[in-house]
Structure 1
């Protein structure tokens, strides 16, 4: 299936719409009539206990898992259920998994260069020279991800946090409309976590971002201007500002505790 990103329809301000999504595995409902939407430019945090369905939801959005029932739309134009993982990525959805997957034997610059050339039907572009526009974009992203001055360093020598930032930079090279981040600060130092919060706050408004995270301090830092969605048993348990969610008795009972 051929998909053109320029067809993205954000007229009504919604970039992602999940409607009544159910995913069943051998009778177990990993998602159970899940409905939510993400606005253009929004940074939405998704929290909830293990097994709540957070990863399965991301798998549905990126085409890795097909829903048993329900609908998923990207930009009100693309029906994700009818698209391959490649088509979904090409349409403008980028995903970063919890563990960083950078090319450790290549430099920071080369990682960003490879990301700029990925998935363009592939071989001719791998050997093409970067345009001045691409070089400018790499320089801009290096500053954004706090790795300017580190461009000639092997990615394998970076700290865990720096590898996470590099992978976010590699996603940004693909110019996604929607970015999915799975526990981006897991294993980071306090200083790295704080810098990651700064990075995501800088990206807010320029990209739509969904962040799945367990670190409540980090969530509070990046959710100040937006909403938090709480998943439980495959459905939305609660949604609202961080203070509203933290005060919700249902959320306290199943996730936050006292």
Structure 2
């Protein structure tokens, strides 16, 4: 969707709600991204109806085009599933969103005003984008509680960590996250003694402690038991609406449980998009990915 269409959609939505709409603009390259508004620290402007917006994004590595004119957008509170064959560009797309990889061209916005291509990787994390890799990375020598507590600390120095104490709001937040990730009964267990699925939940909890607006989750149920997969589906559905989620996954049963819209990537661009039934019936998707 182009910025013009993005803006037109926001204008229609505003009029339908009886809200006065102030138009603005965005452009690639030199990029001014104000849309007539200012960035407020700690907030993401989603008045245009999108929390993540990519347009015509391309990147090449040693002559190989990993991402090729990729365009997609995600609404606030949406849970979007991304599927595609190996080498389709799914991981590279996440690398671009989080600032790990810089594209050769294109536009990447977080909300209407935050041009992610102007920010470094650490800054993007602080803006409210959390990323979960496939392999869990928790502190196995610490308890579940200590892992979540550590996720709150902005200064990870030894002295600061020793002096850090949770305030009342942080304690309440930690208790809430423990319930959300199904680990309230394991608060004193060492993370190293958790099952694979529980470690995945703990790492998601560590992200939630920082209250991200957007979560990027790479193959979150790989290696989980059936029970853990089912509970992860419950977890993601409980997060939808409060957070926006982009889930890269190959488990079609899991995707069917959680998805509304599925985006299929192939050769670095969007091949198809729709409900799971719609994309599974698409002959192009069958040929390059489903193989039946």
Band of TM-score, shorter chain: over 0.9
Report the counterpart of residue 49 of structure 1 in structure 2.
85
Question: Which of 245, 249, 254 pairs up with 1:218?
Answer: 254
Pick closer, same or farther for the CA change 1:191–1:61 going to 2, 3 Å.
same
TM-score relative to the length of structure 1 = 0.95
Q: Is the 8 A contact 1:17 1:73 kept in 2?
A: yes
Structure 1 distance, partners of 2:160, 2:279, is 47
Structure 2 distance, partners of 1:100, 1:214, is 17
Listed one character per residue, the Cα deviations across residues 177-233 of structure 1 (whole Å, up to 9, x for unaligned) are 00000000000011100100010011010000000001111111101xx20000000
Shift of 1:7: 4.2
Question: Which of 117, 124, 133 pairs up with 1:97?
Answer: 133
Structure 1 distance, partners of 2:178, 2:43, is 29
Higher Cα radius of gyration: 2
Aligned residues: CA RMSD: 1.2
Structure 2 distance, partners of 1:246, 1:32, is 23
Structure 1 distance, partners of 2:155, 2:189, is 28
Report the counterpart of residue 150 of structure 1 in structure 2.
186
Aligned length: 252
The DSSP-based 3-state class of the residue aligned with 2:68 is strand
Note the 1:67-86 alignment, pairs <5 A. 67-86=103-122
The DSSP-based 3-state class of the residue aligned with 1:102 is coil
Q: Is the 8 A contact 1:102 1:111 kept in 2?
A: yes
Question: Which of 54, 58, 70 pairs up with 1:22?
Answer: 58
Pick closer, same or farther for the CA change 1:155–1:42 going to 2, 3 Å.
same
Structure 2: runs of 5 or more not aligned? 1-38
Q: Is the 8 A contact 1:7 1:77 kept in 2?
A: no
Report the counterpart of residue 196 of structure 1 in structure 2.
232
TM-score relative to the length of structure 2 = 0.84
Report the counterpart of residue 249 of structure 1 in structure 2.
283
Structure 2 distance, partners of 1:241, 1:256, is 15
Question: Which of 232, 242, 248 pairs up with 2:266?
Answer: 232
Structure 1: runs of 5 or more not aligned? none
Structure 1, 89-98 or 74-83: larger mean CA deviation? 74-83
The DSSP-based 3-state class of the residue aligned with 1:14 is coil
The DSSP-based 3-state class of the residue aligned with 1:6 is coil
- Larger relative CO (CA 8 A, sep 6+): 1 or 2? 1
